């Protein structure tokens, strides 16, 4: 008697969501083929602020999802002691702008049992000595001791190594990969060169390109994805440990002493060309460097090493869209903001759904079916997307 063949799952996208899903599928016994347009982590995961948190006001379901997302990172840290180089829980500090207050935010977080502490400026200086306490709002700041950061390219490399060890195949530089749909069922993927790869199930995890790919298949996903960019600085001494979310800049350490910077105001300055190319104004880069220097102790001189621009995945209502695609049998999707915080848990839960065929109750609030799906599926194999190229008018080319 022959043994049944393992389920063959093709995963499109090698950012944190696709790689995490592939690793969990391979761990669960599936035959996995991970296909990516370019290289692993060369999309949104490679230019993420990657702040690990469940901060601020959110729906109860979303807050819970983020909390168990944090839990999985702590599990990963225990299983992988070497991850201390790229995964840290050294706390995060945030404060309000001049015309707002974070007192209600603090009350909300505490009412939900979140690890939040209110600090005045003297306490900021004592607990987070890498922060310039004089830059903190006069009302004080919220310190979330259990928050942290992850350097996603390092995590993705570790997940890929585990997936390959469990038998997964990785196909890089595959070009514009599409879902192969026949008679309303996903039957595999179509590579950029036109070659077809058959699979029993397909998982789509291409970040900000997911809505366009699904639209080409006749499936609508509300989309609020903007163009965005981060600035990566040259190494800074002394090392910064605290994640900062301030009115004018967010700051996240990197393993080698560099910093990642972004801000909403800077994001809005990006110029999108008719061909989709992105230009980051030099003034915005300079502004982020100056703002980051101002909020760090000692006001260090910061130098931009590179600028990375591209799409920042955000669903239309701000909450994840995850799980099976009702209009196309055999197809699952992951499309969300905060991919860093949610990366491990969403990969685990989607893989479990694919392997068992049982929907996860945790994902019920985040399914595509919460939106009206009036459009009919498109013809076979018509899905495609136009990649966004980034350009910046400073000396370093973005990645």
User: Is the domain of 186 the same as that of 134?
Assistant: no
Counting the structural domains of the chain, the total is 2
Whether 3 has a pLDDT exceeding 70, the answer reads no
The answer to whether residue 204 sits within a structural domain is yes
pLDDT in tens, 258-281: 999 999 999 999 999 999 899 999
Q: What is the CATH number of the domain that holds 335?
A: 3.50.50.60
The answer to whether residue 379 sits within a structural domain is no
Q: Closest Cα partner for 261 from 40, 50, 30? A: 50
What letters, b where the CB count within 10 A reaches 16 and e where it falls short, cover 88-101?
bbebbbbbbeeeee
pLDDT in tens, 184-214: 999 999 999 999 999 999 999 999 999 999 9
Whether 293 has a pLDDT exceeding 90, the answer reads yes
Whether 373 has a pLDDT exceeding 60, the answer reads no
**Mean pLDDT to the nearest integer, 44-64:** 95
pLDDT in tens, 114-134: 999 999 999 999 999 999 999
Classify burial at 76, counting beta carbons within 10 Å of its beta carbon; exposed 0-12, middle 13-18, buried 19 or more: middle
User: Is the domain of 158 the same as that of 202?
Assistant: yes
Please tell me the distance from the alpha carbon of residue 136 to that of residue 246, in angstroms, as a whole number. Answer: 8
User: Is the domain of 320 the same as that of 350?
Assistant: yes
User: Is the domain of 220 the same as that of 320?
Assistant: yes
pLDDT in tens, 301-317: 999 999 999 999 999 99
**Mean pLDDT to the nearest integer, 19-33:** 98
User: Is the domain of 42 the same as that of 157?
Assistant: yes
User: Is the domain of 15 the same as that of 131?
Assistant: no
User: Is the domain of 97 the same as that of 140?
Assistant: yes
Whether 389 has a pLDDT exceeding 80, the answer reads no
Task: Provide φ and ψ at 176, rounded to 5°.
Answer: -75, 90
Whether 75 has a pLDDT exceeding 60, the answer reads yes
The answer to whether residue 398 sits within a structural domain is no
- 37 vs 376 pLDDT, higher one: 37
pTM for the model: 0.92
The answer to whether residue 364 sits within a structural domain is yes
**Mean pLDDT to the nearest integer, 239-263:** 98
The answer to whether residue 389 sits within a structural domain is no
List helix spans (H) across the chain. 16-27, 60-79, 103-111, 121-127, 152-165, 210-215, 264-267, 282-295, 339-356
Whether 241 has a pLDDT exceeding 80, the answer reads yes
Question: Which of 101, 129, 145 lies at the terminal end of a domain, its last residue?
Answer: 145
Looking at residue 211, its pLDDT comes to: 98
Q: Strand, coil or helix: what is 360?
A: coil
The answer to whether residue 169 sits within a structural domain is yes
Domain extent for 117 = 92-145
The answer to whether residue 166 sits within a structural domain is yes
Looking at residue 57, its pLDDT comes to: 87
Question: Which of 145, 168, 186 lies at the terminal end of a domain, its last residue?
Answer: 145
User: Is the domain of 328 the same as that of 216?
Assistant: yes
Question: Which of 145, 177, 207 lies at the terminal end of a domain, its last residue?
Answer: 145
Whether 1 has a pLDDT exceeding 80, the answer reads no
Task: Provide φ and ψ at 95, rounded to 5°.
Answer: -145, 160
User: Is the domain of 322 the same as that of 207?
Assistant: yes
Residue 55 tokens read as 């901060």
User: Is the domain of 158 the same as that of 137?
Assistant: no
User: Is the domain of 220 the same as that of 322?
Assistant: yes
Confidence of residue 395 (pLDDT cuts 50, 70, 90): very low
User: Is the domain of 115 the same as that of 220?
Assistant: no
Q: Closest Cα partner for 335 from 224, 227, 180? A: 224
The answer to whether residue 264 sits within a structural domain is no
């Amino acid at each position: 008697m022959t043994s049944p063949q393992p389920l063959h799952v093709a995963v499109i996208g090698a950012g944190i969501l696709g790689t995490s899903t592939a690793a969990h599928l391979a761990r669960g016994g599936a035959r996995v083929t991970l296909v990516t347009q370019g290289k692993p982590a060369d999309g949104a995961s490679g230019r993420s602020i990657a702040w690990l948190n469940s901060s601020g006001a959110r729906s109860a379901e979303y807050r819970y999802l983020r909390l168990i997302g944090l839990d999985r990172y702590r599990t990963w840290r225990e299983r992988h002691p070497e991850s201390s180089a790229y995964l840290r829980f050294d706390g995060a500090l945030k404060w309000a702008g001049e015309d707002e207050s974070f007192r209600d935010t603090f009350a909300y977080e505490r009412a939900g049992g979140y690890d939040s502490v209110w600090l005045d400026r003297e306490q900021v200086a004592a607990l987070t000595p890498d922060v310039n306490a004089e830059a903190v709002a006069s009302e004080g700041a919220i310190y979330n001791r259990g928050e942290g950061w992850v350097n996603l390219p390092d995590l993705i490399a570790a997940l890929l190594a585990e997936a390959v060890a469990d038998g997964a195949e990785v196909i890089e530089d595959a070009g514009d990969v599409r879902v192969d749909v026949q008679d309303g069922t996903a039957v595999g993927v179509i590579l950029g060169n036109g070659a077809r790869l058959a699979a029993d199930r397909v998982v789509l995890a291409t970040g900000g390109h997911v809505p366009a790919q699904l639209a080409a298949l006749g499936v609508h996903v509300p989309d609020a994805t903007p163009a965005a960019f981060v600035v990566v600085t040259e190494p800074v001494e002394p090392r910064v440990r605290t994640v900062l979310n301030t009115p004018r800049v967010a700051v996240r350490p990197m393993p080698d002493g560099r910093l990642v910077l972004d801000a909403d105001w800077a994001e809005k300055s990006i110029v999108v060309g008719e061909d989709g190319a992105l230009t980051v104004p030099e003034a915005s880069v300079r502004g982020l460097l100056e703002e980051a220097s101002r909020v760090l102790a000692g006001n260090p001189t910061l130098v931009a090493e590179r600028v990375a621009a591209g799409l920042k995945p955000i669903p239309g209502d701000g909450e994840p869209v995850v799980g099976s695609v009702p209009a196309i049998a055999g197809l699952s999707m992951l499309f969300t903001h905060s991919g860093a915080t949610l990366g491990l848990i969403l990969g685990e839960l989607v893989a479990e759904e694919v392997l068992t065929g049982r929907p996860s109750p945790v994902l019920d609030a985040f399914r595509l079916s919460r939106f009206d799906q009036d459009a009919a599926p498109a013809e076979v194999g018509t899905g495609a997307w136009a990649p966004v190229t980034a350009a910046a008018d400073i000396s370093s080319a973005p990645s």
